[in-house]
Structure 1
């Protein structure tokens, strides 16, 4: 809880230095905004090679200090697409913002990374602790060992805070109205998909473990952003990959229910069971603007996820998924796949989403930053070392 408060205080401090900028935006009464979601692969595992024993919470701090080329490329992608609000997945949690997110903003985003692009600034940001790498006292993998890390942490991670999240915004964030759901218990979701060992028919997690198991592998955040007097709820998450488990499909079922969480949260008649980390029950009220954002690690058409939750979310009448973001670069990446143009990850599914509400938002355009091989900017995404194994997904919206 202390770390959440610190991150909020840091947000207020940084925002306070930019009140003139936000006031000018309000005076201009802009109603068109661009929002994006980007899994940036800025976690320690991307920098230590195969020796994961070196993965710790100092790795990203050190890379940010060292003018890292991958981070420069990530920044250039953001500078080229120029979103007003962007969610970054897999940005390791660093409790001191001056060593983490503020350094990323000031040293990278505030510096033009190519002669053809301009620097970009985000006077407002939000970050908070996540469950990845948070030690549990239990053997969660079923291998007979309780290590407290990796698969035995409450969310897979080699250290606490790995694969974290950050929201950057040009518009003010209503700090006092943020809701987080890091500690919501999986057991408290009605009809939760509690994993079962098919060999024995018994629950994979015993009752003691199940009583304490959080639903979120990272966290779920509801972050209200003020767009010239109109509120948009940014609903941010990054569910666990539905793989790396066994026949009990524990990760697949957790992914399903993490995705389902947002479906229920935006549906007033289905959200009564939900409580946030402050103990407040309920989901969004009726007729609220929202954007569901993040790497959901799920596709209704492909991949290893259970399809029911992501399908229900995409077809929820409160969600606008009528125009699916696409790119020519993605279609060239998997030429034999007729729906490859919708992919957001190089390994071949639509995993990353920017899903606006039907209420109060109109989609003007959307897409995926995926340059073609014959384009100069292909250097930015040619492999994971260049930037990430995911692509930035964006949507231009009118706030009504």
Structure 2
């Protein structure tokens, strides 16, 4: 990935760079960005963008669960060390993790990534081996509560995650559901005083998995319903690959996809334009 960022010749990287320069978001979350300890790859992308006039001085990409060895045979094939034996699927530590670029200072409020799956109230553990319940983490990448400080004495929280897809492996449908259901559990513990946005990858396509957690979030009294379009409940069914869902302390000024359909694209950026009310 670093080679491709530096080369300026990789079609996927160049599409990402062009999309960011067109939309110019204040903050952007990547949900499939290889992690390296020193943040070299993320820094290289930020430098590419800064050279084109889009500066992201604040970056957040700590170690996560993707590719982190569990020490167990989680996929039950009799071998240790396979990608699906890691805490989150990965061929190496940091394979396809999350990363954030921001124009505004970023603070970590809480990192729930080390939480055991079995500790989630009501966890669906039917396909998780009993021996793994004291080891297996809920987050396949991470669950973060972050604060962005745009100035003026106000902060906006970002609640970020990237769930495993429900379509592969015996335990993934339940884990996909529970990674999103974690935010329902978090809201039952208390709604923050600052406005906040759910931002991430529920990774649930139409006809895949169980959309009960997404339906509950869509109807939660602290949150706006997901806007129709890129972050909506698709075709009347609880399904969203990517989700941006703000709390009622924020007003939605616009939303969309880039590139906008029907223009063809292998990947599209989901964007949301939010207005922060004065204190």
Question: What is the TM-score normalised by the length of structure 2?
Answer: 0.90
Check whether the contact 1:297–1:305 (CA below 8 A) recurs between aligned residues: no
Partner of 1:101: 42
Could you tell me how far 1:317 is from its partner in structure 2?
1.2
Partner of 1:217: 140
Count of aligned pairs:
273
- Which runs of structure 2 are paired with 1:200-279 in the superposition (5 Å)? 204-206=128-130, 208-228=131-151, 229-246=153-170, 250-265=171-186, 267=187, 270-271=188-189
Could you tell me how far 1:313 is from its partner in structure 2?
1.4
Check whether the contact 1:136–1:154 (CA below 8 A) recurs between aligned residues: yes
For 1:303 and 1:78, locate their aligned partners in 2 and report how far apart those are by CA, in whole Å: 31
Check whether the contact 1:185–1:214 (CA below 8 A) recurs between aligned residues: yes
Could you tell me how far 1:372 is from its partner in structure 2?
4.2
- Does residue 1:298 correspond to 2:204, yes or no? yes
Q: Which runs of 5+ in 1 are unaligned?
A: 1-59, 113-118, 197-203, 272-283, 328-337, 343-348
Determine helix, strand or coil for the equivalent of 2:106.
coil
For 2:142 and 2:210, locate their aligned partners in 1 and report how far apart those are by CA, in whole Å: 20
For 1:230 and 1:127, locate their aligned partners in 2 and report how far apart those are by CA, in whole Å: 23
- Does residue 1:399 correspond to 2:268, yes or no? no
Partner of 1:363: 252
Check whether the contact 1:133–1:156 (CA below 8 A) recurs between aligned residues: yes
Check whether the contact 2:32–2:98 (CA below 8 A) recurs between aligned residues: yes
For 2:147 and 2:261, locate their aligned partners in 1 and report how far apart those are by CA, in whole Å: 36
Determine helix, strand or coil for the equivalent of 1:260.
helix
* Residues 1:84 and 1:238: Cα distance change in structure 2 (over 3 Å): same
Among 63, 68, 81, the residue aligned to 1:134: 68
- Which runs of structure 2 are paired with 1:78-117 in the superposition (5 Å)? 78-97=20-39, 99-106=40-47, 108-112=48-52
Could you tell me how far 1:111 is from its partner in structure 2?
3.6
Check whether the contact 2:35–2:97 (CA below 8 A) recurs between aligned residues: yes
For 2:23 and 2:169, locate their aligned partners in 1 and report how far apart those are by CA, in whole Å: 36
Question: What is the TM-score normalised by the length of structure 1?
Answer: 0.64
| CA displacement 1:44-97 (0-9 Å, x = unmatched) | xxxxxxxxxxxxxxxx22222322432122110111111111111101001112
**Aligned-residue CA RMSD (Å):** 2.2
More helix by share: 1
Check whether the contact 2:57–2:102 (CA below 8 A) recurs between aligned residues: yes
More strand by share: 2
For 2:140 and 2:65, locate their aligned partners in 1 and report how far apart those are by CA, in whole Å: 6
* Residues 1:317 and 1:138: Cα distance change in structure 2 (over 3 Å): same
- Does residue 1:289 correspond to 2:195, yes or no? yes
